[in-house]
Amino acid sequence: MKKLIFGIIITVLISACSSKKENYLIKYHEGEFDEIGVPSGYLNLKGDTIIPIGKYYYCYTDTIRNFGMVIEKGTGKIIGINNKAEHLFEVAKYDNGPDYVENELFRIIKNKLYGYANKDGEIIIEPKFKCAHPFFMGKAQVSDSCTTKTSNGRKMFLSNSWYYIDSKGNRTEK
């Protein structure tokens, strides 16, 4: 009886492990060094080209398991894509690169509104804010009405109606 149970457990474990398909993309690039502007693309594990070199201006992410970031040609926007090369959303810029992940979230933009996604590319807080700052110590400062000003190449948000949200998008105290 023990051998039968052991055999069933081993069979279940082997089938569970073998049924899992690794479906991620690996970055490849032209030239010796990988730096912004160097043509790059993505291959699957079989070596098939999924995103050809030159489709995007630059590919930030070296391995896309669920989510990666690329710079769109022409617009310079940072775009979030999944491992099927589908566009998910625009990623907010910070210090000339993609927004930093804080409290497991980073800012995204859809239809000129800000929201937040996680490192797997899942939208956690739908884009609904006119302006939004990154999370800090569990809270993010957002506004439903604001203007933007550029000074010394930096974008600044101006508003008289800021409030704070938690990592689920609920209003919270300062």
Structural domain span for residue 42: 23-91
pLDDT, one tens digit per residue, over 123-134 is 999 999 999 999
Q: Which two tokens stand for residue 115?
A: 């929201």
pLDDT at 10: 44
Q: What is the mean pLDDT of residues 151-166?
A: 92
Q: Are residues 83 and 125 in the same domain?
A: no
Count structural domains, the chain.
2
> Could you tell me whether strands 147-151 and 154-158 are parallel, antiparallel, or unpaired per DSSP bridges?
antiparallel
pLDDT at 21: 59
Q: Are residues 101 and 144 in the same domain?
A: yes
Instruction: Give the confidence band of 166 by pLDDT, cuts at 50, 70, 90.
Output: very high
Q: Are residues 154 and 107 in the same domain?
A: yes
In a domain, 27, yes or no: yes
In a domain, 159, yes or no: yes
pLDDT, one tens digit per residue, over 32-86 is 888 888 899 999 999 999 999 999 999 999 999 999 999 999 999 999 999 999 9
Q: Are residues 120 and 134 in the same domain?
A: yes
Q: Quote the percentage of the chain above a pLDDT of 90.
A: 72
Cβ count within 10 A of residue 90 = 20
pTM of the predicted model, to two decimals? 0.82
In a domain, 11, yes or no: no
Q: Are residues 78 and 131 in the same domain?
A: no
Q: Are residues 148 and 105 in the same domain?
A: yes
Cβ count within 10 A of residue 40 = 25
Q: Are residues 166 and 108 in the same domain?
A: yes
Q: Are residues 113 and 55 in the same domain?
A: no
Contact (Cβ atoms closer than 8 angstroms) between residue 63 and residue 27 = yes
Mean pLDDT computed over every residue of the chain: 88
d(CA 84, CA 66): 9
Q: Are residues 111 and 136 in the same domain?
A: yes
d(CA 167, CA 47): 38
Q: Are residues 101 and 167 in the same domain?
A: yes
**Which amino acid does the sequence have at 18?**
S
